Chain A
Amino acid sequence: MLKKADINKFIAAVMNNGYKVFGPVKQEDGVSLSELKTTDDISFDYFNFILPPKRHFFPWSELLYKYKDKTIHEAPLPEDKTILLGIRPCDARSFSFLDNVFIDDKAVDPYYQNRRDNTIVISLACNQPLPSCFCTSVGGTPAGKEGTDILAYDTGDSLFFEECSERGSSFLKLYSKFFSTPDQADVQAVKDFIAKAEKQVLSVNIKNAAEKLKEKFYDSVWDKLSFRCLSCGVCTFFCPTCYCFGLYDERDRRIRVHDACMYKGFTLEASGHNPRPTQSERMRQRIMHKFLYTVENFGKIFCVGCGRCVTACPVNMDIRENIVEVIG
């Protein structure tokens, strides 16, 4: 149990130990996940961050190496010790998905792995789902622990911390002097509140989606669905689990930047051939990737139900409606 009044002291102590702390900072256009410079502008008054937190492990754009004098000069691997504070459980869950792609594989991505290894995730249980939320339909809950090290519950004037990983518990031990023994009644109250929140989350029936999608590859539904789509790719940029990227050379350097399956150039080959020539194939790819291919490859639906794609889409393409329409 940490008194909110003491949070500044706690953060200061953490920073003193060499951590960069990213947390919910109140800004002009809402609360965003920003680096805490001072400790007095933290706000727990938010629903979720506008941008997904994936960029902390996998930035929009990152330098891999420079090429000078016929030699490759590798960019140093990121080593910053980092705390991510206030991540919502849906987003924390996305980290465990990204781990499947970037770490739990024959080829390990050293940039992602280093950042992940050096980061402690403190998530904040969700007590107010938005109309766009649907985490419970894709296997999450407003107080889910997947992908996080510590889960915090907002009890009003205090935060109650629950250890969710070994790293989380050894981290909390270091700062035990800031914590008091939790008041069980308080904790129960919070948990009840969250249980109530869970019931408010919109439920989407996507049972056996993967199985049903297998039959839908050559269905005309994709043409129909994709017609409204503008191919802008905002859904992928705002998706916490979308991880597609491209490697590009810019003058003397090679960078890695986020890319999107919604763009026609994504799969365009040098010969001019494009295996996904229209938005129909590209939309199919995005939905199939999340609800079928990742299920086949990792046993997981790569959607955490955060609803960002639903709200950010300029033409209100709603993945909840779309998946239901496809699987019928």
Chain B
Amino acid sequence: MGGTESIENKLKDAVKDLFLKKKVDIVIGFEKGSLPLTSRPCFIRSSDMAERLVWNASCTNNLAVYLPRFFQKVPRAKKSGTPPPVVGIVAKGCDARSVVGLIKEKQILKENVVIIGMSCQGVIDRRKIESFIDGSFIAGGRQEPGGILEITTGVGDKKKIKVSDVLAESCIECQYPHVENADVRIDGESITASDDGYKAIKAFEEKSPEERWQYFTDEISRCIRCYACRQACPNCYCKVCFAEQTLPRWIGPGDELSDVMIYHIGRIFHQAGRCVECNACVRACPVGIDLRLFTRKLCMDVKELFGYIPGLSIEELPPLLRFELNDNNDFITTG
């Protein structure tokens, strides 16, 4: 078969097995969403709940965003001291890299996380589907074996679209679809790793500073400052974000462009050497700002300057967390 359904069944069986062998207390996975052709995070707490799990190209979220909360003190919790649960997490290549990042940054305990590594066929971009069914909306849809989406449009037409034709840009450019650190592996069809050498970024860098600034300005000026990009990002676990600190207040809360830009610049730079390009920020943005271009530029820089890829190895520390005598330091001028 090789379709998503058999992967889905394998996943269900694997999760049931984890519960039966008492290897996990909870599993974060995907269930069917309330809108056509959507999936959403769900929390499986027993083997019989595993039937709810789904696995298909609409499993877009990076579930690692939920992990730190299992290891934090909850304000209302009466007693601390109970050990954190063992959490299983259904992970695509990018999600697993986030998990590794959280382990390295000591937000979660390695021994308390079970990575269920999925073969990833990439996830869909709903906006791309909408452009395929011109003018209408997705009224119904399901994924068939062989990476085919069957869409029912608002006017009742049925359309078949290949998943590969409506993949999210981040998946098209994905260099690490394979889960490196899986504790349990669910095999199936997978997209192949791409290495386009950061073509889009290089092309953007070719533009004049004025053009680049204009692009940044145009994108950022649409921001309504809901901070969904931050909330959806597994890397953004700070208890108080600099954007909301009041003493001192780094940026004003209004819609002045400079304030909005500083928030975004701050957010983007905090991703250097950490961003796994899962695209969660882009999907969360309700006004569709192209945040990926900016973070990807930093991913590229960190890779080229330090040879570091976030989230691949649990042992290797990120460049901004370590110091070496032979670090590239040509930004320091002498004489």
Contact = CB atoms under 8 A, between A and B. Distances in A.
A131 B75 contact: no
Interface residues of B, number: 43
B281 to A, nearest CB: 9
A311 B61 contact: no
Interface in B55-95: 61, 65, 74-76
A144 B285 CA distance: 31
A277 B226 contact: no
Interface string A164-191: 0000000000000000000000000000
Contacts of B252: 248, 250-251, 255
Given A130-B137, A131-B35, A315-B61, A257 B254 contact: yes
B236 to A, nearest CB: 10
B35 A248 contact: no
Mostly helix, strand, loop or mixed at chain B's interface?
loop
Given A61-B254, A255-B254, A278-B74, A228 B35 contact: no
B253 interface: yes
B286 interface: yes
Given A234-B286, A316-B40, A61 B231 contact: no
A237 B40 contact: no
B131 to A, nearest CB: 10
Contact of A231 (B35, B42, B231, B283): B231
B288 interface: yes
B244 interface: yes
Contacts of A131: 35-36, 137-140
Contacts of B143: none
Nearest to A228: B41
Contacts of A227: 43
Chain B CB within 10 A, most for which of A45, A234, A257 = A234
Contact of B35 (A50, A234, A311): A311
B75 A234 contact: no
Contact of B283 (A47, A128, A250, A314): A314
Contacts of A298: none
B34 A318 contact: yes
A248 B246 CA distance: 11
A234 B65 contact: no
A1 interface: no
Interface in B220-261: 224-228, 230-232, 244, 252-256, 259
B224 A60 contact: yes
A246 interface: yes
Interface in B102-160: 127, 135, 137-140, 154
A228 B43 contact: yes
B284 interface: yes
B253 A50 contact: no
Contact of A246 (B33, B35, B253): B253
29 contacts: A29-B288, A45-B135, A50-B286, A61-B256, A128-B154, A132-B35, A230-B65, A232-B226, A232-B227, A232-B231, A233-B226, A233-B227, A233-B228, A233-B231, A246-B253, A248-B252, A250-B252, A250-B256, A251-B252, A255-B254, A278-B76, A310-B34, A310-B35, A312-B286, A314-B61, A314-B228, A315-B61, A316-B34, A316-B39
